[in-house]
Amino acid sequence: MRVVCLSGGVGGAKLARGLQDALAPGELTVIGNVGDDVCALGLHVSPDLDSVLYALAGLNDEERGWGRADETWRALESAREWGGEGWFQLGDLDLGLHLVRTQSLRAGEPLSSVTARLTASAGLATSLLPATDDRLRTSVVTPAGSFPFQEWFVSRRHEDEVDAMRFEGADAAAAAPGVVEAIADATAIVVAPSNPYTSIHPILAVRAIREAVVARSVRSVAVSPLIGGRAVKGPLHRMLSRMAGGTSPAHVAACYEGLIDALVIDRSDAPAAAAVPLVVADTLMSSGDDARRLAATVLEATV
């Protein structure tokens, strides 16, 4: 098989790991969101790419959901003591990756090429591609004003209600090398259980990527990030209620109109009906076994 998975951070990373485990080496390509990328302490951080990279390499902190396991925070404490910004937490182990990436980007290397080197360093056969090498940044429109994604998510603890999302730079952004080819060549497309508004829509905001998914000749299956109408973590259920008018599987499926052929939903959200066929499964991924089981169900649904 040649499986392409569109993914954001935490939940997406878990399914990506399950898919990697369920497939033969080299059969998986993950296309990651870069709308959340942020400059922190002068370093270029790609949180969603890193969550996927760490999960694929088995280096992720499962409890926190982002960053590395066995992390320490001494560099950040020191930066704070010297009056540096500390709102975006960068752990000591995590920092090493941001240093390498930032140095390469400053030397003119595209993000996709740096990311390929990082995945190779981790010994991965899976391809991890940023949606674009161009600057694409998500901003969140709220009643209190518009905020860059991480300012709203981390600094303001995503407490503001959301009226709309903007993907700055998306109109001019080209898909990163290999992205459109991977989608066109795929035998199956999977949309990970990530927040559609904050994680998947910024990927699809790159016109060539959306067009490639729309033009697919293979099945595309999404996994709903909701369990019992609520996000496992994060603000999705509030966003869906406010922007889509509800948190049912039909509301999730509507986020992907024309882009999916089936939606995998959690048992707790069934029975339900939506514009596409629904597949009922246990979607909570508390362990590697859960992720592998869910990945197997998703792959079956793509056939």
* Contact residue for ligand FO1 among 17, 66, 222, 237 (CB under 6 A): 66
- Rounded Cα gap, residues 197 and 239, in angstroms: 8
Q: Is 93 in the site for ligand FO1 (CB under 6 A)?
A: no
Residues between 224 and 283 with contacts to ligand FO1, criterion CB under 6 A: none
* Contact residue for ligand FO1 among 13, 17, 36, 188 (CB under 6 A): 36
What's the min distance (Å) between Cβ of 12 and ligand FO1?
A: 8
Nearer to ligand FO1, 22 or 137 (CB): 137
- What totals of helices (H) and strands (E) does the chain contain, helices first? 12, 14
* Contact residue for ligand FO1 among 8, 32, 202, 235 (CB under 6 A): 8
- Rounded Cα gap, residues 215 and 212, in angstroms: 5
CA 21 from chain center: how many Å?
18
Residue 38: closest CA among 152, 176, 175, 149:
149
Return the C-alpha torsion angle 257, 260, 262, 268, nearest 10.
Answer: -60
Q: Is 69 in the site for ligand FO1 (CB under 6 A)?
A: no
Q: Is 48 in the site for ligand FO1 (CB under 6 A)?
A: yes
Nearer to ligand FO1, 147 or 153 (CB): 153
In single-letter form, the type of residue at position 43 comes to L
Q: Is 41 in the site for ligand FO1 (CB under 6 A)?
A: no
Q: Is 167 in the site for ligand FO1 (CB under 6 A)?
A: no
Q: Encoding tokens for residue 88?
A: 């975006």
Bond prior to 271 in cis (omega within 30° of 0)? yes
Strands 230-231 and 226-227: antiparallel
Stretch of residues binding ligand FO1 (CB under 6 A), selected from 7-15, 102-110, 206-214, 257-265 = 7-15
Nearer to ligand FO1, 50 or 133 (CB): 50
Tell me the number of residues near ligand FO1 by CB under 6 A: 19
* Contact residue for ligand FO1 among 17, 57, 59, 67 (CB under 6 A): 67
* Contact residue for ligand FO1 among 3, 4, 5, 10 (CB under 6 A): 10
Q: Is 90 in the site for ligand FO1 (CB under 6 A)?
A: yes
What's the min distance (Å) between Cβ of 15 and ligand FO1?
A: 14
- Rounded Cα gap, residues 23 and 44, in angstroms: 31
Q: Encoding tokens for residue 235?
A: 């603000």
* Contact residue for ligand FO1 among 3, 45, 260, 278 (CB under 6 A): 45
Q: Is 190 exposed, middle or buried (0-12, 13-18, 19+ CB in 10 A)?
A: buried
What's the min distance (Å) between Cβ of 191 and ligand FO1?
A: 15
- Rounded Cα gap, residues 170 and 180, in angstroms: 15
Lookup result for tokens 């508004």: 197
Which position's Cβ is nearest ligand FO1? 9
* Contact residue for ligand FO1 among 2, 71, 79, 89 (CB under 6 A): 89
Cα dihedral across residues 177, 179, 183, 187: positive or negative: positive
Q: Is 240 exposed, middle or buried (0-12, 13-18, 19+ CB in 10 A)?
A: buried
Binding mask 194-213 for ligand FO1 (x = CB under 6 A): -----x--------------
Could you list the residues that contact ligand FO1 (CB under 6 A)? Answer: 8-10, 36, 45, 47-48, 50-51, 66-67, 88-90, 94, 150, 153-154, 199
